[in-house]
Amino acid sequence: MSKKLILVLLCVFSLQAKGQNYVESDNFKFKFIKAKKASGATWIYSIKTAKEAKRVQVRFKMKSLSGKKENFDPNKFYLVSDAYKVRVRPLDVRYNYAAGWIFLPFDKLIENQSIDSSIQEFVCYEPEIKDTFQDYSIVGYEDISPNINFGTKKKPKIISPYLHPEDLRACKIDIYFALPKELTEFKIYYGEQIIGEIEIK
């Protein structure tokens, strides 16, 4: 598989998920809301993508099974393409605050203790928190984690971060992905469970 194919994003104008009932996984249940081409500058840092690339936003409603706050691990989200034999980590994951439309990012973590002081406001080192994305590899599928530039074009600081879990009860979740343009169908997982099967209209 070429690097160019891996780095390009899926250009989408209308997406639809198969089945819109709640699906349980671990201590939570998820219901697909919508998927669309991501627009606007929602990041305070730049995300490295190809020039022709587009971002895709997928939104779910999420509730804890207990009805109380539970530990929610965004690193368990990933996208699988059977056509391309890839398992893709999200570019970003956000959750809405209370009942409002303000979506907050999960804090970003790094595995390497050597953090440039100029980017400490964006990422931190907490080795006690495991990157659980690594736990769900699929035999015969390539794992892809996006790189984010926390520096500048002239002085790039390229990192592939993972996310800090949060205690959550119920909220909306926005997940952003980078995918090949030709991809027409894919699955969204949380842990070992498929929570959405999405296709291009």
Q: Please, what is the average pLDDT of the chain?
A: 81
* Of residues 66, 53, 63, the one with CA closest to residue 3: 53
- Report pLDDT for 13: 30
So where are the chain's domains?
A: 3-200
- Report pLDDT for 149: 77
**Residues 35-49: pLDDT tens digits?**
887 765 444 444 555
**pLDDT average, residue stretch 5-33:** 65
Dihedral of the CA atoms 36, 39, 43, 49 (nearest 10)? 80
- The more confident residue out of 123 and 32 is 32
- Report pLDDT for 42: 47
- Report pLDDT for 128: 95
- Report pLDDT for 87: 95
Q: What is the pTM of this model?
A: 0.84
Sheet architecture: strand order including 123-124: 123-124, 108-109, 162-163
**Residues 75-109: pLDDT tens digits?**
999 999 999 999 999 999 999 976 677 888 999 99
- The more confident residue out of 198 and 77 is 77
Band of pLDDT at residue 133, cut at 50, 70 and 90: very high
* 70-104: burial string, b at 16+ Cβ within 10 Å, e else: bebbbbbbbbbbeebebbbbbbbbbbbeeeeeebe
- Report pLDDT for 109: 93
Give the number of other CB atoms < 10 A from CB of residue 125. 13
- Report pLDDT for 9: 33
